[in-house]
Chains A and B, each alone.
Chain A
Amino acid sequence: MSDTPSTVTVGNESAVLVDCRGLLCPVPIIRLSKAVKAAEVGRLVKLLATDPGSEPDLKAWEKQTGHTLVSSERAGNEFHFVVRRAK
């Protein structure tokens, strides 16, 4: 991953963008975890994925890590998740 991550606007906030489209489990959850750890507390991270297992995985990740799953949307074959680093 590059030192200067891509960002995207979510609502009126900037979010770190993690594009895992085309990548299979466990890569999306690993890249999400790394991005959240690298972000400041309170920062948003947006994850794009196509792995159909990512929907239940994000719920489990939220439950176990205590970070917040702000939104979860499906657009065709893509899943768009927004999480907020909680601590």
Chain B
Amino acid sequence: MVEEAPRKVVYVQTYGVEAPDRMATPIYLAAAAAAMDMDVSIYFTVHGPTMLRKGVPGTVRVRKFDGDGALIGHFLDQARDLGVRFLVCQPSLDLNGMTMDDVIEGVEMIGGAAFNDLAVEADQVISF
């Protein structure tokens, strides 16, 4: 039996710590996709990289309607444990006054060409 290649999904996260109610959803969806044996990446761009700043995952909580939810780091770890790749966009690091030295371990930097290559090779690109 020939194994089918896994479906590829790329989530694009443009929100970061400035929008605590918008941070976690793409991370949940990416984790669920990985649990469905898909090949999953999250591309953190615009303000997205701010949730990957060292110190943030262990201190910033997602917002729920009745107050604060779990730490964003919990959801990031959950996704990463399932094999979700985290990618950041270099100009977006600049936009947020960050360099790769400010970013937590396990994140890859890619540029616009690499993102577009990933996008056209993916089965779906879902943007938040």
Query: Can you sample 6 A-B contacts with CB below 8 Å?
Result: A25-B28, A33-B35, A33-B82, A57-B32, A65-B36, A65-B37
Asked whether, in the complex, the Cβ of B28 is within 8 Å of the Cβ of A61, the reply is no
Of residues 33 to 51 in B, which have CB atoms within 8 Å of A's CB atoms? 34-38
The interface of chain A, by Cβ under 8 A from chain B, is 25-26, 29-30, 32-34, 57, 60-61, 64-65, 87
| CA of A29 to CA of B78, assembled, Å | 12
Asked whether, in the complex, the Cβ of A26 is within 8 Å of the Cβ of B28, the reply is yes
The interface of chain B, by Cβ under 8 A from chain A, is 1, 7, 28-29, 31-32, 34-38, 78, 82
| CA of A60 to CA of B28, assembled, Å | 16
Q: How far is the CB of B26 from chain A (nearest CB, A)?
A: 12
| CA of A30 to CA of B38, assembled, Å | 12
Asked whether, in the complex, the Cβ of A64 is within 8 Å of the Cβ of B29, the reply is no
Asked whether, in the complex, the Cβ of B7 is within 8 Å of the Cβ of A25, the reply is no
Q: How far is the CB of B32 from chain A (nearest CB, A)?
A: 4
Taking each of A32, A57, A64, which has the highest tally of chain B beta carbons within 10 Å of its own beta carbon?
A: A64
**A26/B29 contact (C-beta < 8 A), A33-B82, A60-B36 known:** yes
Neighbour of A64 across the interface among B28, B31, B38, B82, CB < 8 A = B38
Asked whether, in the complex, the Cβ of A30 is within 8 Å of the Cβ of B82, the reply is yes
Asked whether, in the complex, the Cβ of A32 is within 8 Å of the Cβ of B32, the reply is no
Q: How far is the CB of A1 from chain B (nearest CB, A)?
A: 11
Asked whether, in the complex, the Cβ of B37 is within 8 Å of the Cβ of A26, the reply is no
Q: How far is the CB of B123 from chain A (nearest CB, A)?
A: 11
| Shortest Cβ distance from A60 into B: residue | B36
| CA of A61 to CA of B34, assembled, Å | 10
| CA of A26 to CA of B24, assembled, Å | 11
Asked whether, in the complex, the Cβ of B38 is within 8 Å of the Cβ of A26, the reply is no
Q: Which residues of B contact A32 (CB under 8 A)?
A: 35
Closest 4 A-B residue pairs measured CB to CB? A33-B35, A26-B32, A64-B36, A30-B35
Q: How far is the CB of A2 from chain B (nearest CB, A)?
A: 16
